[in-house]
């Protein structure tokens, strides 16, 4: 009989880090999440969870594990199992090392540490008979690329009262984070010999006019829009390509733009601002012409600071004599998908987003223990403090 895995978030984080789960959409030929999902499923089943693992795309599984009274104030604990590439790392990525109170390895901080903390918290609360709600563990695939895992989970009709996404927040409660819009912009020119400015149209120079206009937008209009936890939105050029040679007017220039959004900004609003910038340039330079295509869009997240899940987490932090910090998160997470589906979702977890995807990735072991303790306390009180039925239709 296989020995029961210890209820220790550091040990579980190390177990998960040791399994290569690089996202194959980011790293061609990478193994994906199958092995780590299967191993976590074995551990959770040994702790008494009802576990299912199923593919949402070939070789890309979600793990769902349930414990506690079925259907009673269901609370989701969500985290992703995929990790990014390991090029340039200064230590072995999949050989977890514990040193000086830290756990090193790819995914230790983003976000297998958070997954470990939430799983141990639920298992401890269940073992103590403290659960007054159903806990739904969702360890998903593909968050680092297209969020296929959480999108599929919600499309299947998941119902819950709230969700905690255990992304690294330095143990702050993060009820809001920014969204993003990605655009491809093709600026068109007219090829001509470099000595014939009367014939040529410089697509690169025209792209420069657009970039200058976007800098102005960022320094004026966007600075005036402020969210209390997130600050102001932003726009930047991610890549630029164009031209064919020294003595030729470039007939094309391709820009990739990223616009980080705050709650209240819509995709239509953001695209309209970009098109207005192009129209303004065209009014002064009649040969300016650009095609704009939205590539990817994800919404911002915004849950009230007075929401029950925020209060439950801050109360649990105070009980453990930790600062009950409520803060915004600059990066995008799957929390926005839960909230958009009618399940209020906040981020709370061990680690620091500044160490995500880094050449040296580590997490404080003390943060892992603290996160598990805080989430365990939330689980012990949740079913007594919220309605028994709410969530996505």
Pull the structure tokens for residue 180: 């993003």
Partnered with residue 54 across adjacent β-strands are 62
Catalytic residue among 33, 134, 142, 143: 143
DSSP 283-321: HH-TT-EEEEEEEEEE--EE--TTSHHHHHHHHHHHHTT
Tokens of 120: 């141990």
The secondary structure of 201-232 as a DSSP string is B-HHHHHHHHHHHHHHHHHTHHHH--BTTTB-
Residue whose structure tokens are 């709650």: 263
Whether the link from the prior residue into 306 is cis, omega within 30° of 0, is no
Measured CA to CA, the distance from residue 96 to residue 92 in angstroms comes to 8
Q: Tell me the C-alpha distance between 318 and 326, whole Å.
A: 12
Q: Measure the CA–CA gap between 189 and 346, rounded to whole angstroms.
A: 46
Residues contacting residue 222 through CB under 8 Å, at least 6 positions apart = 232, 233, 234, 235
* CA gyration radius, the chain: 24
Q: Which of 82, 144, 181, 367 is catalytic?
A: 82
Whether 265 is catalytic: no
Residue closest to 57 by CA, chosen among 154, 166, 164, 140 = 140
Distance between CA atoms of residues 365 and 113, nearest Å = 9
Backbone φ and ψ for 311, nearest 5 degrees, come out as -65, -40
- DSSP per-residue codes, 227-281: BTTTB--EEEEEEEEE---TTEE-SEEEEEEEEEE-TT--HHHHHHHHHHHHHHH
**Is 143 labeled as catalytic in the residue annotation?**
yes
Active site residues: 82, 143
């Amino acid at each position: 009989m296989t020995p029961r895995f210890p209820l220790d978030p550091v040990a579980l984080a190390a177990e998960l880090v040791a399994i290569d789960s690089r996202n194959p959409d980011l790293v061609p030929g990478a193994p994906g999440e199958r092995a780590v999902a299967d191993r976590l499923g074995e551990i959770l089943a040994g702790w008494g969870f009802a576990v299912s693992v199923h593919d949402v795309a070939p070789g890309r599984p979600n793990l769902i594990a349930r414990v506690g009274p079925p259907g009673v104030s269901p609370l989701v604990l969500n985290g992703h199992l995929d990790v990014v590439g390991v090029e340039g790392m200064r230590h072995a990525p999949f050989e977890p090392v514990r040193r000086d109170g830290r756990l090193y390895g790819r995914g230790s901080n983003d976000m297998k540490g958070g997954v470990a903390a939430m799983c141990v918290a639920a298992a401890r609360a269940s073992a103590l008979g403290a659960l007054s709600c159903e806990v739904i563990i969702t360890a998903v695939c593909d968050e680092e690329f297209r969020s296929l895992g959480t999108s599929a989970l919600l499309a299947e009709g998941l119902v819950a009262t709230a969700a905690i996404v255990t992304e690294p927040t330095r143990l702050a409660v993060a009820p809001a984070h920014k969204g993003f819009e990605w655009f491809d912009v093709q600026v068109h020119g007219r090829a001509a010999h470099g000595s014939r400015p009367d014939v040529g149209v410089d697509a690169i120079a025209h792209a420069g006019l657009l970039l200058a206009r976007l800098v102005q937008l960022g320094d004026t209009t966007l600075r005036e829009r402020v969210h209390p936890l997130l600050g102001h939105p932003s726009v930047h050029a991610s890549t630029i390509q164009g031209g064919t040679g020294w003595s030729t007017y470039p007939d094309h220039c391709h820009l990739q733009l990223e616009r980080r959004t705050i709650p209240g900004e819509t995709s239509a609003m953001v695209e309209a601002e970009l098109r207005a910038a192009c129209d303004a340039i065209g009014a002064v330079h009649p040969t300016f012409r650009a095609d704009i295509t939205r590539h990817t869009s994800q919404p911002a997240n915004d849950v009230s600071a007075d929401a029950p899940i925020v209060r439950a987490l801050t109360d649990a932090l105070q009980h453990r004599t930790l600062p009950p910090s409520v803060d915004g998160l600059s990066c995008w997470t799957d929390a926005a998908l839960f909230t958009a589906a009618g399940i209020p979702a906040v981020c709370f977890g061990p680690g620091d987003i500044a160490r995500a995807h880094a050449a040296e990735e580590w997490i404080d072991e003390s943060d892992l223990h603290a996160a598990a303790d805080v989430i365990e306390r939330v689980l012990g009180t949740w079913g007594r403090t919220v309605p028994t039925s709410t969530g996505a239709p």
